[in-house]
Structure 1
Amino acid sequence: MTVTYVIDGSRVTGLERFWEVIGEAVNGPGGYFGRNLDALADCLGGGMGTPDDGDFAWEWRDHAVSARALGHEETARWLRRSVDRVDPTNRAAVRRRLDEALAGRGPTLFELIVEILTNGTPPGGLRLR
C-alpha cells in the first residue's frame, strides 16, 4: 500500500522552513528529512522514515505558495550563503548561478526540489496541488 506524505505548502516561507515542513511530513514534529539538497536526495533512498520498499508518494498542497517562497529571491539568498562554502573550483559557477537568480532567471529552489522529489520517487509519485 502506497504511503502518501503531504507537504503543506502554505507553511513554506523559505528554505529553512521547507526543511522543517518536509521533516514533519515524513517523521512527525521535529522530524528530519534533509537539511540541504544532497541530503534530501539521500533521504529519498530509504532508511530515513520512508517505507523500505520505496512505495511512497508526495502530495504538495498549496505548491504555488511554496513556489513563490522558494523562488529566485530565496534562491539568490541560498546561493549567496553557499558561495564561500563550496570548493574554490566551483565558486565561479555558483557566482554565475547567483547572478542569474538575482536577475530572475535560472532554476529556483522550488524547481530544484521538485526535480529531486520527482527523480527520487516512482513515476507519478509527486502530485502538485
Structure 2
Amino acid sequence: MPRDLPVLIVDGARFSDLDGFAREFSRLLSGYTWRGNLDALNDVLRGGYGTPTHGWVLRWVGSETSRAALGHPETARRLERLLPSVDPSNRAAVEARLDEARRGEGPTLFDEIVAIIREHGPGGREAADGILLELR
C-alpha cells in the first residue's frame, strides 16, 4: 500500500446506528455533510465532496463493532424509514428486502457500505478513485 496516501479514520466505537455512522463519516469530510443516503455515499467517494482528491485510505477501526451496529435490525429500520417514499414500481423489492432483514437474513447495512467503498478501490468498477479500505 502506498504510504503517501492520506488516511481518514472511521471509529466504530463512536456510533451505534446509520445516523451515527453518517455523522462519523461526515466528520472526515471538508465542508460537506453526508446524511446517510447510500447513493449519495457513492457520489462522495467519487470526489468533490470534501475527500482527498487523488486517492486515500479509509481505515475503519472497530469494524466488528460497526458490523453489529449496522446489522440486520438497523438494516430493517432503514428500510422501514425508506418504504413510504419508495416508487411503487420498486415497493415489492424493498418490502422483500425488509422481510429478509427482519428474519436476520441477507446483506446488512454494513455489508452494503463496505461493498460501496470497495467499488472505489482496487478491482472495483470505480477503482480510479483510489480508495483503499482497511477494516480493523
2-side partners of 1:51 and 1:7: how far apart? 15
The structural deviation recorded for 1:12 is 1.9
Residues 34/2 of structure 1: CA separation in 2 closer, same or farther (3 Å cut)? farther
8 Å contact from structure 1 (residues 57, 121) kept in 2? no
**One-letter code of the match for 1:127?**
E
8 Å contact from structure 2 (residues 23, 35) kept in 1? no
Identity of paired residues, percent? 44
- TM-score where L is the length of structure 2: 0.86
Consecutive unaligned residues of structure 2, counting only runs of 5 or more, are: 124-130
In the TM superposition, 1:1-129 aligns within 5 A as 1-27=4-30, 32-53=33-54, 55-122=55-122, 125-129=132-136
2-side partners of 1:62 and 1:25: how far apart? 16
1-side partners of 2:103 and 2:33: how far apart? 33
2-side partners of 1:67 and 1:127: how far apart? 14
The structural deviation recorded for 1:88 is 0.5
User: Deviations 1:59-105 (Å, cap 9, x if unpaired)?
Assistant: 00001111111000000000011111111000000000000000000
Stretch of structure 1 that moved more, 103-112 or 79-88: 79-88
The structural deviation recorded for 1:50 is 1.5
1-side partners of 2:106 and 2:61: how far apart? 24
* Count of residue correspondences: 126
The structural deviation recorded for 1:122 is 4.1
Consecutive unaligned residues of structure 1, counting only runs of 5 or more, are: none
Give the match's secondary structure for 2:51: coil
